[in-house]
Amino acid sequence: MVFNSVDFFIFLTLFFVGFFVFKFNFKAQNLFILISSLLFYAFWDCRFLPLILTYITLDYFFGILIASEENLKLRKRYLIIAIILNLFGLLFFKYYNFFIEIFNYFLLHIFPWQINSTNRIILPIGISFFTFHSISYLVDIYKHRVEPTKNFVAYASFVSFFPQLVAGPISRAEDMLPKFLQKREIDSEKMSQGISQITLGFFKKIVVADSIGLFVDGTYASLDVMSDFQILLSAIFYSFQIYCDFSGYTDIALGLGRIFGIEYKTNFNRPYFSKNFSEFWDRWHISLSSWLRDYLYIPLGGNKLGKLITFKNLLITMLIGGLWHGAKINFIIWGFVHGIFLIGQRIIPIKLPNIIAVIITFFLTTLAWIFFRSPNLGDSLFIIQHIFEMESFQLLGDFSIIKILYLIFCILCLDFFYFEYFNRYSLKAIIINTILFLHIILFASFNSNGFIYFQF
């Protein structure tokens, strides 16, 4: 069930009641969280419920095993085995079809037979996120950053808590596990902050992102008849669509967490105001970018082994970041392009006025998003070619463009002037919430469009 659906509001109402029924029994409340979260996951596809339970059980016992082993070689061996088992599930479900297609492509040029690729593997929702949860937990235990818990229900609740289960943020045990091991403090101020953040999240998703999505989808479906200027507008609009779609989901998830006394760290920090690409990745999908930095880039050597090694590490990290999003050549190219951007800013450290630096960073980020959004490489190259040619300027659907520009203006104003306004209960927060609620009534699309990052 998606957050913007009737089913979810029914589920949330029942969860809210049950959560406060068990308010004075912490263990029972944790068990209620776990059962509810598993039911939430089963609603997507109950066939994958054993999969997430296997992940949880496996990593729970491996965590205890790694921590209890004093022999460093054995500790490392257990960690490697656990990581391989975690990655096996991810690689099989997410990349099996991709590997078979590549294998068949090369096999066809050598032998007159191929592997049957008609049986497509269904991707379990959220597998990329809870796999990274698990790996970070095990690595942190190995490096003595956290102690493993022997409370299975608390650990399982930490991994499966429904607001962040299917699309993050990728939480760290160091930050979040204690919230499932001790009594949660819930007060009216935190609840009001959570409601405000949820309101903002729904505004971003069902008003801004879904309105833009209609325009962008229409353009991508008819690229051959669209003017170059409309293609450019769609590329720019998509940058705001994916931002509002994903940060909207995050705001809803974090707001729900606040209501129930389980607070997550900020996952987006006004990324389109970044002056370079290092800053962009410090602000965009922070839980993923920091995960890649701490568990991939730094272990590879980070920036401590010379410029060439640093460039190699950046490229590998961003390529894997692209591949994490899916088994598709466009995602790999998207990651590669961002790797080149990060390397380029180190090779040519040009000092520009802030506003110029922000515009250039946004424009190049938008070009990279074209690979992320396009169904294939051919469409990506077609769009980029027509953006730079800019030979035709006709527009279709003028009213929708005016509406989108107005909504983008609203988002920019919120980010620039009232970022995280929900952190304090005040008259300003009440006024902003009222305005956002009115916009939801006037402009929202209530057709339960899924969030973009649910596919990852």
- Angle between helix axes 26-44 and 6-21 (nearest 10 degrees) is 170
Q: What are the residue numbers of the active site?
A: 325
Residue 22 CB-density burial (10 A; 0-12 exposed, 13-18 middle, 19+ buried): middle
CA distance 333 to 338: 9
User: Residues 134, 418: contact at Cβ < 8 Å?
Assistant: no
User: Residues 197, 255: contact at Cβ < 8 Å?
Assistant: yes
Coil/strand/helix, residue 338: helix
pLDDT along the chain (456 residues), means of 10: 80 89 88 92 85 92 91 91 90 76 63 57 80 91 90 92 84 88 83 92 92 90 86 94 93 92 90 95 93 92 87 94 86 94 89 92 96 91 90 71 92 91 86 92 75 70
End-to-end CA distance of the chain: 16
CA distance 202 to 24: 31
Look at the alpha carbons of 441, 168, 343, 328 in this order and tell me if their dihedral is positive or negative: negative
Return the residue matching tokens 């002037």.
417
Omega before 163 cis (within 30°)? no
- Which pTM does this prediction carry? 0.89
265: Cα separation from own chain's centroid: 13
Backbone angles phi, psi at 260, to 5 degrees: -100, 15
Look at the alpha carbons of 51, 53, 54, 58 in this order and tell me if their dihedral is positive or negative: positive
CA distance 45 to 59: 22
pLDDT at 81: 94
Q: Which amino acid is at 24?
A: F
CA distance 318 to 292: 8
User: Residues 41, 165: contact at Cβ < 8 Å?
Assistant: yes
User: Residues 90, 128: contact at Cβ < 8 Å?
Assistant: yes
- Say which residues have a Cβ less than 8 Å from residue 178's Cβ, sequence separation at least 6: none
User: What string of DSSP letters covers 67-93?
Assistant: HH---HHHHHHHHHHHHHHHHHHHHHH
CA distance 171 to 163: 12
User: Residues 78, 153: contact at Cβ < 8 Å?
Assistant: no
- CA nearest 245: which of 407, 416, 6, 39? 407
Cα–Cα distances in angstroms (integers) from residue 368 to residues 32, 38, 58, 214, 238, in the given order: 43, 36, 38, 21, 11
User: Residues 288, 164: contact at Cβ < 8 Å?
Assistant: no
- CA nearest 193: which of 150, 256, 240? 256
CA distance 454 to 450: 7
pLDDT at 244: 94
Annotated domain spans of the chain: 6-184, 189-275+352-455
